[in-house]
Homo-oligomer: A and B are copies of this chain.
Amino acid sequence: MVDPIELNDALERLHAYLDGQDIAGAIDYLRTLHPADSAELLAELEPEQQGAIVERLHATELADVFEQLDEEDMAGVAQHLDVGMLADVLDEMEPDMAADLLGELEPDQAAEVLEQMEEPSDVAALMTYPPDTAGGIMTAAPSSLRRFWTVSESIRFLRKHYAEEEDFYTLYVLDRHARLIGLVDLKALILAEPEQTIEEIMDRSVISVRAAADQEEVAQLLQRYDLVSLPVVDEEERLIGIVMIDDVVDVIEEEATEDIYRLAQMSSDSEIYSPIPEAVRNRLPWLVVNLGTAFLASSVVAMFESTIASAAVLAAFMPIVAGQGGNAGTQTMTIMVRSLALKEIEPRDTLWALWHEARVGIINGISVGILVALIAGFWQHNPYLGLVIGLAMVGNLIVAAIAGVLMPMMLKALRIDPALASSIFVTTFTDICGFLLFLGLATYFLRFLI
């Protein structure tokens, strides 16, 4: 039994070989590991060490490595190989991964490599689909069965044709126009009597998806129906590929990461290992937009300059009202954005959500309002200050609930990703309303505050 290796230990061992200039030893060591692990170790090396190893690997070994690498690491490893070698490697790779690798190369280089490949057609076909669609993440389907074949004929056919194909768990049945009409699990094939026909054992309720469908829809179908693979069809219902569940696992993780980064107001492409200029590009524009909305909020404060001049203590409490509104608004907005992403809620549920969140906002507002009123009142020995800040807090938490529901719902209805801009709008709203409510009430009660 293989234990999952400790990558740190393995990396140290690999470095020991490399520090001793023992490239052959390093390669022999990598060959003892699971391809997923050796690929990860290779990606961690410095370029020249990587190059020294990569140049000595066979095309089939390199194909294994590339199939396990993250897309970002592919281009780095590929730079050590010439066009001829890259073409050989791509011929050995699964078509969907080969298309991913080509997508990471410079367009000129990719064209040259494609030209030198022996069987470029599968890969070239895949490259015509946008990367975040069913067509973009699918791979070639295993050769298919016909309904009038017997089980023993089918197994003979599989022995002849399937040895070289990618792992698969479900076979698809096509009619004479190559249209998808059913599926047969490998389990069903093994359990069936040899003389039964495919038609007798096939499952006709096969769920499929069009090539243009968004990868999120693909992920949801595989999840909802507990599938291991999902067939992809063209407009005429002809089978053109399959999406495997392990590709979808990556999609789900990727989509969650995108939402998390957008909610934190930065580009969804952000990565911890981004070079500095890219990291700045991914974040600075959001800070600048926020600066604009911050000046909007600060111009509200400026309107009350004379109130603050006569009771400077207000400046200390002002950020509390705005900040709590921002926190409560972020809570509501985040739960809305995530529930929309998981399809637990839709824009038609807006009224229900408003009523639900408004009640939470009122209860939390009154609780926090009373607390803040007591603390502020006792601290500054002024019950009116407590009253003003308490009332403003209740009001702002209700505003927060409303903005937290409406912003994501509006963006969704406008077909904009709700994670993209909800944060900015919601906190702008709670900042402005928080300042207005607090300083407005303070101006009204000013003679009790000074």
Contact A290 B323 (CB under 8 A): yes
Q: Write out the residue numbers on chain B whose beta carbons fall within 8 Å of the beta carbon of A263.
A: 260, 263-264, 334
Q: A204 CA to B32 CA in the complex, in Å?
A: 13
Q: Write out the residue numbers on chain B whose beta carbons fall within 8 Å of the beta carbon of A270.
A: 331, 335
Nearest Cβ distance between residue A262 and chain B, in whole angstroms?
A: 10
Residue of B nearest to A228 (CB): B228
Which of A53-61, A83-91, A124-132, A272-280 is the contact stretch?
A272-280
Q: How many copies does the complex hold?
A: 2
Tell me whether A416 is interfacial, beta carbon within 8 Å. Answer: no
Known: A2-B207, A291-B371, A360-B283. Contact between A316 and B305, CB under 8 A? yes
Q: Write out the residue numbers on chain B whose beta carbons fall within 8 Å of the beta carbon of A351.
A: none
Nearest Cβ distance between residue A342 and chain B, in whole angstroms?
A: 7
Nearest Cβ distance between residue A414 and chain B, in whole angstroms?
A: 20
Tell me whether A339 is interfacial, beta carbon within 8 Å. Answer: yes
Contact A226 B36 (CB under 8 A): yes
Known: A308-B312, A308-B315. Contact between A335 and B272, CB under 8 A? yes
Q: Write out the residue numbers on chain B whose beta carbons fall within 8 Å of the beta carbon of A253.
A: 223, 252, 256, 342
Docked complex: A303-332 residues within 8 A CB-CB of B: 305-306, 308-309, 312-320, 322-324, 327-328, 330-331
Q: A319 CA to B222 CA in the complex, in Å?
A: 47
Contact B205 A264 (CB under 8 A): no
Nearest Cβ distance between residue A72 and chain B, in whole angstroms?
A: 11
Question: What would 10 more interface pairs be, CB under 8 Å, given A2-B207, A223-B246, A280-B363?
Answer: A1-B204, A1-B237, A162-B191, A169-B186, A260-B260, A271-B335, A280-B360, A283-B360, A287-B364, A308-B315
20 CB < 8 A contacts A-B = A2-B205, A34-B225, A158-B190, A163-B191, A167-B187, A169-B187, A222-B249, A227-B246, A228-B246, A249-B252, A252-B252, A256-B257, A271-B339, A272-B335, A272-B344, A276-B359, A279-B360, A308-B308, A312-B315, A315-B318
